[in-house]
Amino acid sequence: NSENEHRICSESVAPLMAVDLKLAYDPWAFIGPGCSYTSSPVGLFTTHWDVPMITAGAPATAFDGGIYLSITNTGPTHKKLGRFALKICEHFGWQEHVMLMFSDNKADDRPCYFAMEGLYMELKKINISTQDSVFEENKPAINYSQILADIQNNGRVMFVCCSPDVFRKLMIHFWRANLPHEHYVFFYMDLFADSLNSRQKQPWARGDKDDHVAKEAFQCVKILTYREPLNPEYRQFVSQLKMDARQMFNYSVEDSLMNIIAGGFYDGLMLYIQVLNETMMMSKGRPPGSIITKKMWNRTFHGVTGMVHLDENGDREIDFALWDLVDTNSSTYQIWLVPGFTAKASDV
C-alpha cells in the first residue's frame, strides 16, 4: 500500500515500500504502483535496479521519455488522450481559440491537471495555441462569471475536466449568458463516464428546476470517455473481480469504466509472465530486467481487456468513445468509437 493516512497516493510512502520489498524479497518485477505520483519515484528505483515495472495506473505524460526505462504501461495514458484531442482539432481545422478548462486541487491526485497536461503537450507540438482556465471545486464558490468571461475572450473550442455536477452548472450558466451558443463547442473530458452512469444516459438530468435549461445547454457538449471493452473475456473478468472483492475484502465493485484499470493490471501481469517464460526457455536463470522490458514493448496480444497493443515506448494504445447528443427529447446518443484514431460510428 503506497497511500498516506488520507488514502491519497503518496510519493514519499511509495519509494520506502519499494526499497523494503527490494531488500526483503529482491523481486523479479514490480506490479504497480497505481497512480502517477507514486509511480514516479518507484519507476526511478526500478530503472536503477534493472527490474521491470508493470502498471496500468501511471497515465501522466512525464513517463514518456528516456528516464523511466523500466516502466511498461498497460493502462490508459494521457499522451494517447492528447493525441486523440489533436486528431479532433486537426479534423476540424482548429488552430486557435482552444481552451483547456479544469479543476485542480494540489492536495489530491490532480487527475484533471494530468489529463489536461496530455492535451497541452500534444497540441503544442503542432503550434495549436491554447489558453487555460483553472478553478478549484472545493472552494466555497466557483466564479462562473469569470470562467464565462474567459470563454468569451479566449475560447471557441473548450476541453473541460471537472466533476459532472460542476460541469452541468457551468453549462447552465453558459446557456443563460448572452453568447452565440452555436459558435461554441465543449468537449467534456469524462474519461470514466461518471456523467453517463444512469440508465437513460442523461448527463444533464438531476430532477430539478434547471433540467430543461441543462438539456438545452448540452446540445453544445460532446463527452469523451474511454471505450469499454466489449469482448466476453472482459465481462467474465469483471464478474470474477466483483466476486473476489466481495469475498476477500468485503468490498463492492461497481459497474464502471474504472474496471479497465484492474483489467489493465491483469493483462500486464499476464504479459510479463508470457515474456518471462519465452526468455527463460532460451537461457536459464534470472534474465536482465531490461531484456524482459524491451520484449514487452512494441507487442500485440489478446488480453481480458481486448486486443492490447503496446507501442515502441511501452505505452498502450487506447480506444476512446466520443458521445454526441443527437436528440435531447429521445436521449439518443451517437458514439464514435476510436480504435487507433480511426473513427467508426454506431448508434446506441
CB distance 98 to 130 below 8 Å: yes
Which pLDDT band, with edges at 50, 70 and 90, does 202 fall under? confident
At 121-177, the pLDDT tens digits run: 999 988 888 999 999 987 778 999 999 999 999 889 999 999 999 999 999 999 999
* Helix, strand, coil share (%) of the chain residues, nearest 5: 45, 20, 35
- Nine cell digits for residue 31: 506490479
| Residue linked to cell 465481462 | 235
Question: Using alpha carbons only, what angle is made at residue 61 by residues 56 and 66, rounded to the nearest 5 degrees?
Answer: 95
More confident residue, 328 or 77: 77
Show the cell assigned to 74.
498497460
pLDDT at 342: 41
Residue range 261-286: mean pLDDT, rounded: 95
Using CA atoms, how far apart are residues 127 and 1, in angstroms rounded to an integer? 41
Total-model pTM: 0.92
By three-state DSSP, how is residue 311 classified? coil
Q: What angle do CA 130, 35, 85 make, to 5 degrees?
A: 25
160 by Cβ neighbours in 10 Å (0-12 / 13-18 / 19+) ranks as buried
Task: Give the three-state DSSP class for 119.
Answer: helix
User: Among candidates 189, 18, 7, which has minimal Cα distance to 107?
Assistant: 7
Cβ-based burial of 238 (10 A; exposed 0-12, middle 13-18, buried ≥19): buried
Residue 81 has pLDDT above 90, yes or no: yes
Q: How far apart are CA 247 and CA 224, in angstroms?
A: 34
Whole-angstrom Cα distance, residue 235 to residue 242?
11
Give 1-53 pLDDT, tens digit per residue: 777 777 777 888 899 999 999 999 999 999 999 999 999 999 999 999 999 99
Which domains does the chain possess? Answer: 13-75+258-310 (3.40.50.2300), 79-226+319-347 (3.40.50.2300)
Closest alpha carbon to 256 in 243, 240, 238: 238
Residue 308 CA from chain centroid, whole number: 16
